[in-house]
Amino acid sequence: MLVMKLVLSSLIFISTMDMAHGFYPNNNGAQKRFAQALNSKLYPQALKQFEDAFSDSYKKSIDGYALRSLLMFNSGIELTGMQQLFALKHPKKINVTLKKMWSDSAPIQHPIWKLLNTKVTSKWSSVFPFIGNYNGFLFPHYKPKNIGQLKKLERTNYNSLIMTDWHHFQLGLWNGIFGKANKGLAYLNKIPSNSKTVNKNQVHLARGRLQFQLKRHQQAIRSYQRVSKKSDYWAISLEEQAYTYTVMGKPGLGLAKLKSLFTPVLAPFAGAEPYMLTAFNQEQNCDYISSFKTVTNYKKTFIPRARSLKKLAGHQMTQQLRTLLSNKQSFSWENLGSNIELLPTNIYTDKFLIKYFNTKNALVNDLVKMRQFGVNGEIIERSRNTADKKIPYYDRQITERIAYLASKDLKTISNITKKMHLIEAEIIQQLHIKKDIKKASGFSRPNSREVLVFPDDGEVWLDEIDKYNASIGFCNKKRGKTL
């Protein structure tokens, strides 16, 4: 039995070696050692042996470039390896075995495709079949300025697995922006729930917004509630649920969602609007004490935040920005560290920052591994120099983008602060009328159920958040106030 296994394994090894001959120029000793490392998937070792195993003419050939870039990619030098591959002008000429090895290494769902900032043409479908007939930069963010340009994008029909869902997602968003919510929903509904290229939580959030736009509030709530608690978009979905419930005339449910948003886990990520919405709902329900506390808490939170944002908008280097730039992890709300409240609201969902950060970190990773492996050669040295130059470029892009978002956030805070002053003025007026804020806050039909009830004992578990309930008393003040 053991002999049979040994014979079988040797046959597989010989078969792999024979297959390798399709793109090896000859079969000398150095190439045999290289083939053994490659077949054993010892990619860093094979990458180091590559330079000595092959002649300069082969290394400069199409197959040589494709093989070296594959070794880099599978050694963890992913972005640089992929960029090296796409520098080739004639991918159809790559050896068929190398094509198969590449398509297996970088399937459609691989994160590298979201970082590749290289124009793709349909000729690359000979290597990666899912590219199809698509020509252009992968995953572009459309910017139609009018309906005519949007219709032109709608006429574009991609026979491309990697781009079809993304295309529908963009058309769904922009139809909503141009007031065509039904059409936008139709495009979003074309995206399968198991899409490999579009985040399903983003689709749920976009669908909720379009349904809200159509005043289908209950459907919007259902879409928002499908956003996963593990998603970067969950806190945003809670805020938008609260706003939807408020519009529906269900302030109790709105306050319950806002209570979830203000738990210690999520509170640092909350922007100015949830504070205003909370204070407004409390004031409308004659809960003046709570409303006044919310206004006070808003001031305590946003005075230091506004100061920090003003520095960032002026391109000053703050401690928070310095910490952010040194972050080596993926760009998500879980990995942004402390003092996130001193940075622009929801920066972890900004499409440009996500790409800038993740691309920069991919280059940093590539640079570390190229130095760690001690690989030499003209192409590798050029790749190291390119990465060295691009990393500061992405730092500048990140700083510029954060300055823009900080400036935008300051305008929002200014607008919300004016509305908070109106709420505060209403509370003071009620205090003046009643002479006592406790009496002003008294419900006209008091009983044990006519209070806001939240099961918060000071210790919060993530799976318990968003299970708050609120029951509010009858308030005899006039309704219909808006901000």
Q: Is 296 helix (H, G, I), strand (E, B) or coil?
A: helix
Residue type, 340: I
Please give the model's pTM, rounded to 2 decimal places.
0.82
Out of 93, 115, 131, pick the residue that ends a domain.
Answer: 131
378 versus 74: which is more confidently predicted? 74
Residue 344 has pLDDT above 60, yes or no: yes
What's the domain range around 46?
Answer: 2-131
Written as one string, the DSSP assignment of 336-390 is S-S-GGGS-TTGGG-HHHHHHHHHHHHHHHHHHHHHHHT--SHHHHHHHHHHHHH
Identify whether 175 is part of a domain: no
Domain boundary among 87, 113, 131: 131
Query: Considering all CA atoms of the chain, what is the largest pairwise distance in Å, rounded to the nearest integer?
Result: 98
Rounded to whole angstroms, how far apart are CA atoms 33 and 230?
Answer: 46
Among 413, 433, 453, identify where a domain stops.
Answer: 433
Local structure of residue 136 (DSSP, 8 states): B
pLDDT band at 455; cut points 50, 70, 90: very low
The pair of structure tokens assigned to 3 is 């002999």
pLDDT the model gives residue 8: 38
Predicted pLDDT at 23: 66
Range of 12-26, 179-193, 418-432 with top mean pLDDT? 179-193
In a domain, 309, yes or no: yes
Q: Is residue 221 part of a domain?
A: no
Q: Is the pLDDT of residue 106 over 80?
A: yes
Tell me the C-alpha distance between 67 and 64, whole Å.
Answer: 5
Q: Is 142 exposed, middle or buried (0-12, 13-18, 19+ CB in 10 A)?
A: middle
| More confidently predicted of 123 and 455 | 123
162 lies in some domain: no
- The reply to whether 152 falls in a domain is no
Quick: pLDDT tens for 284-330.
Answer: 778 888 898 999 999 999 999 999 999 999 999 988 888 888 877 77
In a domain, 54, yes or no: yes
Closest CA to 332 of 301, 310, 361: 361
Confidence of residue 137 (pLDDT cuts 50, 70, 90): very high
Question: Are the CB atoms for 132 and 106 separated by under 8 Å?
Answer: no
- In the chain, % of residues over pLDDT 90: 54
Q: Find the mean pLDDT for residues 261-271.
A: 85
Q: Average of pLDDT values for 155-169?
A: 93
Structurally, the chain folds into a number of domains equal to 2
Q: What is the DSSP letter of 456?
A: -
Phi, psi dihedral angles at 352 (to 5 degrees):
-75, -45
| 126 within domain boundaries | yes
Compute φ and ψ for 120, nearest 5 degrees.
-105, 140
